[in-house]
Amino acid sequence: MIAVLVLLSLTLITISFRESSSGPLHDVQGVGASILRPFEVGAERVARPFRDGYDWLHDLTVAKSENERLRTQLVRYRNLYVQSASALEQNVQLKALLDYEDTPTFPTDYRAVNTRVLVQPASQFDQQIVIAAGVNQGVRLHDPVVTADGLVGDVTRVFSRLARVTLLTDEELAVGAMDVTGATGLIRHGPSAGTTLVLDRVTKDQVVHRGDTIVTAGTLAGRLRSIYPKNIPIGVVQSASQTDIGSYKDIQVKPYVDFSSLESVAVLVPKDRGRKAP
């Protein structure tokens, strides 16, 4: 049966090719096409939503994949930018520290151990950092820590290759300080952690003006030697006032050091101290 149908089809095709356009077989073909046309249109209308849906799903899948790829690239480039910016800032601060060693204000009896800051303060209430230098680099407990801008704090815990530094803005720290006018007192943390300091214990007979520079005094009470060398910059006087009731002046000091962006610091180590071999 199938062979007969195939033979019949081949015969009709052959006749169709040989017949003129006005022949009866072409008329039959035209009638057949006219009859089948509504079915073709119907089939097209039924199939179109499925085809469009498939195309939409395909395009959506491709778009999601592309968005994920672009998002991954964005995160990668953002991380690279942060790392590059951090490295650049670290290099700038390290260069400033090296330049600081060549200035007349650098304490002559000390050498600088320049190092990176590994851990920043976890919050505004945490006024400590961790640095990448310790006993093996000659660092010891209570060594002063500075930047090219001024005093940072001192070492309060030390390990072989790490050390913890308590910042000048910590409530436990007090530093003997003086004004360029000669007024002396103690630098303590201010009311806003990390942003202001207080020059305390300055008697009313001493002269302090707004805009004065505050530096380390090199001494504490009487002639007691401070752990901080003399004349390390601390900050600038923002306000100085006094009341009839208080025993001392009220002096607010803005620190020179930006404690929120420490990338590199220098530990001041006495030159007469031997360095432990790693």
Kindly state whether residue 187 falls inside one of the protein's structural domains: yes
Query: Sign (positive/negative) of CA torsion 258, 259, 260, 263?
Result: positive
Which tens digits make up the pLDDT trace of 68-89?
766 776 666 565 545 454 555 5
Kindly state whether residue 140 falls inside one of the protein's structural domains: yes
Which tens digits make up the pLDDT trace of 42-57?
555 555 665 666 666 6
CA dist 236 to 64, 186, 212, Å?
A: 56, 14, 6
Q: Are residues 151 and 195 in the same domain?
A: yes
Q: Tell me the residue range of the domain where 4 lies.
A: 1-100
Q: Does residue 59 carry a pLDDT above 90?
A: no
Q: Are residues 73 and 148 in the same domain?
A: no
Q: Are residues 84 and 126 in the same domain?
A: no
Q: Could you say which of 39, 69, 100 is where a domain stops?
A: 100
CA pair distance 217, 178, nearest whole angstrom: 5
Q: Are residues 40 and 121 in the same domain?
A: no
CA pair distance 135, 37, nearest whole angstrom: 93
Count of domains observed in the chain: 2
Give the pLDDT confidence score for residue 219 in this predicted structure. 72
| Coil/strand/helix, residue 155 | strand
Which tens digits make up the pLDDT trace of 164-223?
999 999 988 889 999 988 899 999 988 765 578 999 999 999 999 999 999 999 876 555
Contact 239/251 with Cβ under 8 angstroms?
A: yes
Res. 277 pLDDT band, cuts 50 70 90: very low
Q: Are residues 23 and 127 in the same domain?
A: no
Contact 129/164 with Cβ under 8 angstroms?
A: yes
Q: Are residues 160 and 58 in the same domain?
A: no
Q: Are residues 36 and 131 in the same domain?
A: no
User: What is the residue type of 273?
Assistant: R
CATH code for position 198: 2.40.10.340
